[in-house]
Amino acid sequence: MITGAAVFDHPVKMESQKELTGFLSEMASYEMIEGNFKQTKTIKKLNRDFVSTGKFIIWNGVGIFWMTQKPFESFLQVNDKGIVQIDAKGNKKEISTKENPVFAEFSKTIQSVFSGNAKEVEKNFDVYFEKSGKNMIIGLVPREAAVRTVIANLVMEGSKNLEKITITDGDGNPVVYEFSNHVLHKEFKMDPLYIYENMKGK
Amino acid sequence: MVASIGKKTGIAIWVALHAILFVFGILSPWKVETDLYSVLPDSSEFKNVSEAEKALSVRTMRNVSVLLGHESFDEARHFAETLDSIFKNDEGFEETRLHIDANAMAEMREFLFENRYALQSPTVQKALENKDLPSLQNAALQKIYGAFSIADLNNLESDPLLLAEQSFDYFTLESPLMGGRFSLREGVLAATDSNITYVMWSAVLSPKTSAMANDGHVLNRLYKALDSMKTAMPELQIAKSGVPFHSFESSRNAQGEIAWISGISIVLILVLLLTVYRSPFPILCTVSSIGVAACAALACTWTIFHSIHIFTFVFGTSVIGVSIDYAIHFFTEWKKGCSGLEVRRLILKGLLLGFMTTELSYIALTFADFPLLKQMAVFSIAGLASSFATILFLFPCLPLNKNKVELPTLIPEKFISLYNVFMTGAGKKSQNVVIAILLLAIFPGLYLLNIETDMRTLYTMSDELKASEVLSARLNNLGISANYFIVEGESIEAVLQSEERLVERLNAAKQDSLLKNYLATSSIVPSQNTQGKNYERLQGAIRESSVSMQQYLESIGIASDSVFQNSLAVKPSFLTVESNLPQSLKSLLNMLWIGEVNGKFYSAVLPLHVSKDFDIHDLAGNIPQVYAVNKMENINDTLTRLSRVALLLVAIAYAVVLIILVCVYKFKTAVRIIRAPVLACLFLAAVFGYLGIQFNFFAIVGIILTLGIGIDYALFFKEGGRNNLTTTLAVMLSAATTVISFGSLAFSSFTPVATFGLATLLGIVCCFMLSPLSRD
């Protein structure tokens, strides 16, 4: 059994490249994926976990949408145009990627990881890959030293779907995203403007 | 009286005069000013801030950046690293920058955490001002539980509201400096444009590095290094940006061009003088007299002003023009076979009147309220006086050959005969008709004249440099405006408090979309007053909302608030401009904080991406010691005013000259003498008007030169007689040398030089044509 940390012993090789591309292509083949998430943020220094749960939507070409429901409500939308955050009181904060290349880069990277954009992923990360049975693990290490001081690495795990992502920060604190109840849509029709209301209402 | 001075006495007077000047000159500090700030107006407002502006300019005008672009990022980075390795230890640069410190973010986080109670983002400040603690708690909850937050939660117990993280967002992610297209890529700043990835290399020139181009200049080495790279990799794209490149290129081009123009002029003048005198001796004497006059002018200027402005040299060329004329008159008369003292006696009256009238013009300029104009006038007065003394006291003592030499008189004869047609019988009427037509033609041109100096029209950047600047501006997208603010105060605290009042207005203007952002010192180091308020407001808000705070702490799993309360109880040490800041903030502060100048303190506030409705004067209005500055406009206004004042003073001087001439001659003759240079100046001004060329400071220098030199032609014709072949030859030689040396500058591609050359060419030619008419 391959663990998340062990994947970094397996850089992508010729033979594993095909499987990696296949896995990422499978992720990218769906118009839209929605489901539930559980986020566990562990702060080692405080010996404490911060757990939140909610719903997510990964919509190819439109963006990713994150509705945190518990313990506090908040909404995050990331797409090519920018980042939108809405807090529990409905206060909205928008940052345009046009005006801020840092957010543009952040937005592009987040989207590439979740939508399986292999080209973009390989541009920003050193990629590691291992397969154990049906389970596939992808390890990503930011190429940028300065980025590694904030995000040391990412580990994506799944078989048919993306089931878990672990993001470890520069201090070694992991944030684990566990995904469940995936619903895959080959076609999906909804006005993205109403996603927030829609996710809030569910 | 002068005519009776003997040779020995003359030499003694000459030596004494020059010895005094040179001793004072040597004892004075030698300094050459090249910046335009020396010409700023003397209004009390700008007197206070011009020095501060100058300090700011000197600092910012040393920055250069080079973008190295290639389809492959690796190639672009490789060349940027090669460039950095070549110049990293070069003494011509104070520092070079390529790699970004990987720990910069960690350093920033640590700094913001340590100063979280004093230094807060505007959002946090506003929330605390409104006692809106729930909004701060809400923002913190979003960072703790929200998705994809990069907030550092390690210090949650001592900073439960995540104030440091809010500041981190403000100073890094939301910084106006982040608006460009550059992003961090493998440790360097890179941006992509039209499929080319550019890597940025930047540097700061050493304060000792001259703005003027020379072979050993560091930018010369930089150009060579970039050329070699381009040869090695033809696909490499290179974009250079920064004021030093413009100064270097324009001075290099100007130097090269002026060198070949001067070279041709000197050869032509030498050929001309050798043809006339058939001996190198007069030429050697003339060149020596000019050299001595220039040294005397420098010594006198340094003694009085302790420095000399580069513009003074331009103006000071009139010294060369007049000195050469005096010498020509001396040697042309000498060739007739007279002794030195006889020559002096023959030319003395014309020379003396010419000298007095020219000096009067310059003396008038010393009354101008512009230090630069005074300096130019003193330079010319001293130079001319030296030249005059050399002709009067030294030249008669030269071992001159008394044998008469036949001078070439064919051209002077033809010239005189042409004028005699106009001066006798029916020709007199034609003369009046010609003058009347000339006058009528002049007026529309004068009406069209635009007396203005706009420095922007005087400089045309090369296509390559223009394209580089456009690309650099597009990729950086910083949007620094030509308008900015200078804030003044009796203390650092006073400056920062005034800045904060200005920043309040700028924030309101931001809401009205008048600008996108601004850069201010007080955003990095708030005043002690604001830092104190930030801390007290936080303490107050926590005290007043203790129950809500307790609930909040429990919601994030902090059972005891002791760590937080203990840290809040200790009054923090407030930041100052001298505090140890993270590198990125330090660089920004270096750009904005001017510091102490003449006992007061100054800073600059830079508005970014201003709209066309942005009114800098309106925003600065009513805030004491906040000044709206547009450097280019200031310089243009000053030079325009300087030009007008110079013209007015020369006009007054000419009125005095007329009075003197009326005392020496009759009124009608005096008017005839003065008519030639005055009409010549009106003519050249009219030509500028017709051609739609801006009648700028450099054209007016040409006017003053024409007035100074041109009156001598008329005086010599008056004294020597129009039919005197020697006088005519001497004036023709004088005019020819002036036209060759100054008129040739009209062909320069360097606009200020070309304008000066064109004005002098038109003025001298016209003056020469009209001068024979001064004789009855």
Looking up tokens 């005006």 gives A99
Residue B43's pLDDT is what? Answer: 45
Which tens digit of pLDDT belongs to each residue from B427-472?
677 777 877 888 888 999 999 988 888 877 777 788 888 999 999 9
d(CA B589, CA B593): 6
Tell me the angle at which helices B281-305 and B310-334 cross, rounded to the nearest 10 degrees.
150
Find where tokens 């003073």 sit.
B649
Question: Is the CB of B142 less than 8 angstroms away from the CB of A72?
Answer: yes
B674-699 tens-digit pLDDT: 888 999 999 999 999 999 988 888 88
Does residue B521 have a pLDDT over 70? yes
% chain B with pLDDT above 70: 93
Q: State the average pLDDT over residues B82-93.
A: 92
- Name the token pair of B634: 């200031």
Ranges B46-60, B228-242, B432-446, B531-545: which has the least confidence: B46-60
Three-class secondary structure of residue B615 per DSSP: coil
8-state DSSP, B174: T
DSSP B744: G
A42-64 average pLDDT score: 88
pLDDT value at A22 more than 90: no
Which pLDDT tens digit goes with each residue over B255-290?
A: 777 677 778 888 888 888 888 888 888 888 888 888
Q: How far is B216 from chain A (nearest CA, A)?
A: 38
- What is the pLDDT, as a whole number, of residue B230? 94
Is the C-alpha dihedral spanning B16, B18, B21, B26 positive or negative? negative
pLDDT band with cut points at 50, 70 and 90 for residue A102: low
pLDDT in tens, B341-393: 888 888 888 888 888 888 887 887 788 777 777 888 898 899 889 989 999 88
State the pLDDT at residue A99.
65
- pLDDT band of residue A3 (cuts 50, 70, 90) is low
pLDDT above 50 for A1:
no
Ordered by start, the domain boundaries in chain A are 5-188
For residue B148, list chain A residues with Cβ-Cβ distance below 8 A.
66, 76, 78, 110
As a whole number, mean pLDDT of residues B87-112 equals 88
Find out whether A14 and A129 touch, Cβ atoms under 8 Å. Answer: no
In the sheet that holds A74-79, the strands lie side by side as: A92-96, A82-86, A74-79, A63-70, A48-59, A32-43, A174-185, A162-169, A151-158, A135-142, A125-132
- Please answer yes or no on whether B106 and A149 come within 8 Å at the CB atom: yes
Q: Is B194 left (phi over 0), alpha (psi -120 to 50) or beta?
A: left
The runs of H, that is alpha helices, within A53-138 are 101-115, 118-124
Is it the case that residue B38 has pLDDT exceeding 60?
no
Q: What are phi and psi of B332, to 5 degrees?
A: -65, -40
Three-class secondary structure of residue B55 per DSSP: helix
For chain B, percent of residues with pLDDT exceeding 90: 25
Residue of A nearest to B185 (CA): A144
- Find, in chain B, the residue whose alpha carbon is nearest to that of A52: B145
The tens digit of pLDDT for each residue in B116-162 reads 999 998 889 999 988 888 889 988 988 898 888 878 888 888 899 99
- Tell me the CATH number for domain B1-30+278-405: 1.20.1640.10
Closest CA to B390 of B338, B324, B345: B324
Please identify among residues 143-182 of chain A the ones whose CB lies closer than 8 Å to any CB of chain B.
Answer: 143-151, 169-171, 173, 177
Q: Would you call B187 and A144 a contact, using CB atoms and an 8 Å cutoff? A: yes
What pLDDT does B589 receive?
Answer: 92
The segment with the largest mean pLDDT, out of B254-258, B705-709, B730-734, is B730-734
Q: How far is CA B506 from CA B148, B167, B514, B516, in A?
A: 33, 20, 9, 9
Q: Count of CB atoms within 10 A of residue B266's CB?
A: 13
Gap from A147 CA to chain B (nearest CA, Å): 8
CB contacts, 8 Å: A105 with chain B? 183
A90 CB-contact burial (10 Å; exposed 0-12 / middle 13-18 / buried 19+)? exposed
B153 and A43 within 8 Å at the Cβ level: the answer is yes
Whether B640 contacts B518, CB under 8 Å = no
Give me B614's structure tokens: 């942005």
Model confidence at B44, pLDDT cuts 50, 70, 90, reads very low
According to the CATH classification, is domain A5-188 in 2.50.20.10?
Answer: yes
Task: Using alpha carbons, select from A33, A59, A26, A18 the residue that is nearest to residue A194.
Answer: A59
B699: left (phi over 0), alpha (psi -120 to 50) or beta: alpha
Q: What is the DSSP letter of A187?
A: S
Whose CA is closest to B60, among B555, B509, B587?
Answer: B587
pLDDT given at position A103? 67
Dist. CA B175–CA A155, nearest whole Å = 31
Percent of chain A with pLDDT over 90: 12
- Residue B683 burial (CB count, 10 A): 24
Long-range pairs for B470-474: beta carbons < 8 A, 24 or more residues apart: B471/B67, B471/B193, B471/B198, B471/B239, B472/B65, B472/B67, B472/B239, B472/B241, B473/B241, B474/B181, B474/B193
pLDDT value for B201: 95
Residue predicted with more confidence, B32 or A32 = A32
Interface predicted TM-score of the whole assembly (ipTM), two decimals: 0.88
Q: Lowest mean pLDDT of A70-79, B104-113, B302-311, B593-602, name the range.
A: B302-311
* Sequence-ordered list of residues with C-beta below 8 angstroms from that of B242, at least 6 positions apart, any chain: B63, B64, B65
Task: Give B-chain residues touching A100 at CB under 8 angstroms.
Answer: 173-174, 178-179
Let me know: does B182 contact B191? Beta carbons within 8 Å: yes
B37 CB-near residues (< 8 Å, 6+ apart):
B50, B53, B54, B57
What's the longest Cα–Cα distance across chain B? 118
Residue B318 has what pLDDT?
62
Domain ranges of chain B: 1-30+278-405, 408-448+665-776
Under the banding of pLDDT at 50, 70 and 90, the label for residue B54 is confident
Side chain identity, residue B204 = V
Distance CA B137, CA B226 (A): 54
